[in-house]
Amino acid sequence: MAEPFSWVPAGINTDVPSAARVYDFLLGGGHNFASDRVVGEKVLQVLRDGRAIAASNRSFMRRAVLLMMQHGIDQFLDLGSGIPTVGNVHEIVQQEKPDARVVYVDYDEVAVSHSQLILEGNENAGVVQADMCRPQDVLSDPVVKDLIDFSKPVGLLMVAVLHFVSDEKGPAEVVARYRDAVPPGSLIALSHLTADFKPQEMGSVVEAMKHSRDPMYFRSLEQFQPMFAGMEVLEPGVVPAPRWHAELGPAGEDGPEDVYVGVGRKV
Ligand SMILES: C[S@@+](CC[C@H](N)C(=O)[O-])C[C@H]1O[C@@H](n2cnc3c(N)ncnc32)[C@H](O)[C@@H]1O
């Protein structure tokens, strides 16, 4: 039974937790259900800095967008965009350049319906409900085709989404399909949770998420780096989030290092 909130899409099964809503809970948002909070609490029991890890990833996203803007990019495709919270891509970019284009893509109903709500009347931003592991569906979507000009550099974001993609689905191949669709000079931001620093705790997180709609697959630095194939990785390379371009904004330099991040330029 859906909880009685206007942002709950019809027909959604609120008993099955989802990554979008557990992440919203960890960020302190209000768009989550009891089932999501149970999983979120479990995550926090085993990973005491779970909230700091989520915030660290979110702040990398902001810095990556700012860096892309410094490189002259004014159109963004945000894959696995999540439930809108403070500091969404369109807010960051349209504050400086109101005609900058942004398309959000997510498969979570709450993420999509809430994005639709906050984008009402914004002609330069849109949202698509799709599985980002099906690049053809995303790239041929009318909203994407209408707002993104694939003859000009694109800012592609796959932030905290690839660790929901199993080896069978081939995360590196998924990234490569999007990389191939954008012109040279496009910038691609990737972030990925790792168990390199806290194998036991992260093993428990995987366990806690097992019965959600989005099981997780943490990867080592060696497994993550190949996802930047066909790109020149910008300085400082692929590093834990707090060590990436702290000069662009709060990076939580003393914070947890459990999210690897990087931005590559398509060559
Ligand atoms: C942890 S959130 C990250 C949100 C945002 N990118 C950020 O970093 O702040 C991961 C999001 O990816 C979405 N997601 C996971 N797998 C996906 C897929 N195959 N296609 C589309 N969205 C996906 C989830 O629904 C969730 O909203």
* Residue-wise pLDDT tens digits, 228-248: 999 999 999 999 999 999 999
What lies within 8 Å, CB to CB, of 160 at 6+ separation is: 23, 57, 61, 80, 82, 191, 192, 193, 259
Instruction: Using pLDDT thresholds of 50, 70 and 90, give the confidence band for residue 2.
Output: very low
Predicted confidence (pLDDT) at residue 171 exceeds the cutoff of 70? yes
pLDDT mean across residues, the chain: 95
**Residue whose CB lies within 8 A of the most ligand 1 atoms, among 91, 102, 106, for a mutation test:** 106
Predicted confidence (pLDDT) at residue 224 exceeds the cutoff of 90? yes
Q: How much is the average pLDDT of 11-20?
A: 90
Report the predicted TM-score, pTM, of the whole model to 2 decimal places: 0.96
H/E stretch holding 204: helix 199-209
Distance 233 CA to ligand 1 centre (A): 23
**With a 6 A CB cut-off, is 161 part of the ligand 1 pocket?**
yes
10 vs 154, residue with greater confidence? 154
**With a 6 A CB cut-off, is 62 part of the ligand 1 pocket?**
no
Amino acid at 36: D
**With a 6 A CB cut-off, is 40 part of the ligand 1 pocket?**
no
Which residue segments constitute the domains of the chain, with CATH numbers given? 19-266 (3.40.50.150)
**Residue whose CB lies within 8 A of the most ligand 1 atoms, among 78, 85, 107, for a mutation test:** 107
